[in-house]
Amino acid sequence: MTPAVQLLAVGAAAPAWRLDAAEVGAAWNRGSRGQAAVCAPDEDVLTLAAEAASRALAASGLQTDIVDGLWWGTTRPPFAEGPSHAVLARAIGLSHRSGGALCSGSPHAGIEALLGAADAIGAGTARVAVVVVSDALVPGNGTPFEARAGAGAAAVVLVSHGGNAMLTERVTRTQPFLDRYRGDGEADTRDLYDPRLFREEIFLPAVRELGEQLVALAGAGAGDKIRAWSLPDPDGRLGSTIAKELGVTTNASAAVYSALGDTGAAAALLGGIGALDTAGTVAIVGTGGGRTTGVMVSVKDPVRGASTIEGVLAGGRPATYAEVLRARGQLVPSGETVQMGVPPQSAQFVRGADEMLGLLGARCVDCGTINTPPSIHPHCISCGSAKFVLEPLARHGRVHTFVVNQTMPAPFVAPLPIAVVDLDDGARVMLQGIGDGSDISIGTEVELVLRRYAHERGVPVYGYKVRPMERP
């Protein structure tokens, strides 16, 4: 019996770009339909995870520093080996004492993160857990699933009591099949030599068996029928095939796949959390790496944040195939790119990690001026005092002045807006803007969101960027 674990709130995030599958099909002489969500150069699995987790935490109404742990599932941690989990935890405001785990290795990692957190709640070692699942697939060029390889993130705040939904059943099936994979040191995800082998011998048998078990559990248990499903759909077709076989009437994940494509380790949760806005039972199935797992969520009343998920899926800027290849690092300029004056493994990053990710300012005790970043301001810029208190900066403000830089060497991508922003707490910052700058002017209301500023020597560098608030 699965321990009773409550779902308090959910959140989701989608990247900025949408790739028309037909463009990819045209390049490889193959018919492809639909679209996929793709990260812009300043987005990755961590920025998506941070955005989804922050939304879920905001919907939960909880203070972030009471969270006991972060469970993160992704096939591609931003550091192959390094502080991926710690960076994300700091970026979403968790305390220095928070725990949790990073699950990876296959798209099944998303389900593993959910169950890891659920087990911690069930065992009483955590009372509040954040589960975040995110992925930004990098498919091999010309692979059959390339056109639908997507990106996205979902997050769930789990609690020991007080949520409107609860995890009830879980079933799992494991067999040591090779399906999609990435060899040691390889950048691109590859698949089996024959899509029919995958379909007939791996995917359909595994998901069918799991689905049938869930149906049996739902019927035999509380007598509750499954109201909605999240089913895997790795190629844009298999999802509807398996839904038909199982007699599914509400395939909640279909809308997510059609908007974002396959979101890898994020797919199972991202496909199901939108359905938590209505009472009933939701079945969530994830698969990958030879493992398939299904969980059931029993919804009593709408879960906080569930009604916002649909809105996250909408929108996105159309991107060309060439832009996508460049952003994924699969189309690289000839010659050297300009490297950071401060390499990411150097002391400045050790000194500045907290202030950059926690977005800290130093408020002068004598005159109140906020100095940013603290580490380069031993004395106040206004009065020269050396007495400060550190505090997180406001994440909202208005543009005082700005530029749109069109002329930079690789790896910079123009146009790059840069804005001087007056934050609500009185601090003034200058940060890069998101987008092409056409929606920024003096006085524009903006929020600060985490983005990837650079990716160098294989290492990501994160900081905050300015994003215009969506106009009502």
Partner 1 sequence: MSWNRVAVVGAGIIKFGELFEQSYEQMAAGAFAAALDSVDEGFEPTQVEAAFVATQRGTLWGQEGIGGNTIPTAIGLAGIPCTRIENACPSGSDAFRVGAMAVASGVHDVVLVIGVEKMRDKSADEGLLARAAAGHPIFTRGETAPVLFAPFATRHMHEFGTTREMLASVAVKNHHNGSLDPYAHFQNEITIDDVLNSPAVCAPLHLLDCCPQTDGAAAVLLVSAEAAERYTKKPVYVAGFGVATDHPYLHEKTSFTGLKATQLAAERAYAMAGIEPDLIDCAEVHDCFTITEILDIEDLGFVDKGKGGVASLEGDTSLTGRIPINTSGGLLAKGHPIGATGVAQIVECWWQLRGDADERQVETPNGYALQHNVGGRGSGVSVINILTNNAS
Question: Considering beta carbons, is residue 279 or 376 the nearer one to partner 1?
Answer: 376
Task: Please state the closest distance from residue 385 (CB atom) to partner 1, in A.
Answer: 15
Task: Please state the closest distance from residue 93 (CB atom) to partner 1, in A.
Answer: 18
Question: Considering beta carbons, is residue 210 or 466 the nearer one to partner 1?
Answer: 466
Task: Please state the closest distance from residue 337 (CB atom) to partner 1, in A.
Answer: 9
Question: Considering beta carbons, is residue 58 or 340 the nearer one to partner 1?
Answer: 340
Task: Please state the closest distance from residue 450 (CB atom) to partner 1, in A.
Answer: 11
Sheet holding 291-299, edge to edge: 99-103, 69-73, 128-136, 151-159, 5-13, 165-174, 291-299, 280-288, 226-230
Task: Please state the closest distance from residue 342 (CB atom) to partner 1, in A.
Answer: 5
Question: Considering beta carbons, is residue 61 or 409 the nearer one to partner 1?
Answer: 409
State the chain's maximal CA–CA distance in angstroms.
Answer: 72
Question: Considering beta carbons, is residue 27 or 461 the nearer one to partner 1?
Answer: 461
Question: Considering beta carbons, is residue 211 or 460 the nearer one to partner 1?
Answer: 460
- In single-letter form, the type of residue at position 279 comes to A
Question: Considering beta carbons, is residue 280 or 352 the nearer one to partner 1?
Answer: 352
Q: How far apart are CA 119 and CA 215, in angstroms?
A: 23
Helix 238-246 crosses helix 204-220 at what angle (to 10 degrees)?
40
Q: In this structure, are residues 163 and 8 in contact, taking their beta carbons and an 8 Å threshold?
A: yes
Question: Considering beta carbons, is residue 66 or 390 the nearer one to partner 1?
Answer: 390
- Burial call 43-72: b when 16+ CB within 10 Å, e when fewer: bbbbbbbbbbbbbbbebbebebeebbbbbb
Residue 63, CA atoms < 13 Å, CB-side half-sphere:
3
As beta bridge partners, residue 283 has 229, 296
As beta bridge partners, residue 167 has 5, 297
Q: In this structure, are residues 423 and 429 in contact, taking their beta carbons and an 8 Å threshold?
A: yes
Task: Please state the closest distance from residue 407 (CB atom) to partner 1, in A.
Answer: 5
Question: Considering beta carbons, is residue 286 or 417 the nearer one to partner 1?
Answer: 417
Task: Please state the closest distance from residue 332 (CB atom) to partner 1, in A.
Answer: 15
Task: Work out the number of other CB atoms within 10 angstroms of the CB of residue 33.
Answer: 13
Q: How far apart are CA 445 and CA 395, in angstroms?
A: 11
Tokens of 247: 């007699």
Task: Please state the closest distance from residue 366 (CB atom) to partner 1, in A.
Answer: 17
Tokens of 451: 């983005």
Task: Please state the closest distance from residue 89 (CB atom) to partner 1, in A.
Answer: 19
Q: How far apart are CA 455 and CA 256, in angstroms?
A: 29
Question: Considering beta carbons, is residue 220 or 350 the nearer one to partner 1?
Answer: 350
Residues within the interface to partner 1 (CB under 8 A): 336, 338-342, 344, 348-349, 352, 356, 372-373, 376, 381, 400-410, 412, 415-416, 418, 420, 428-432, 437, 442, 453-454, 461, 463-464
CA 440 to chain centre: 25
Select from 117, 118, 67 the least CA-distant residue to 96: 67
Task: Please state the closest distance from residue 464 (CB atom) to partner 1, in A.
Answer: 8
H helix or E strand, kind and range, residue 79: none
Name the pairing type of β-strands 99-103 and 69-73.
parallel
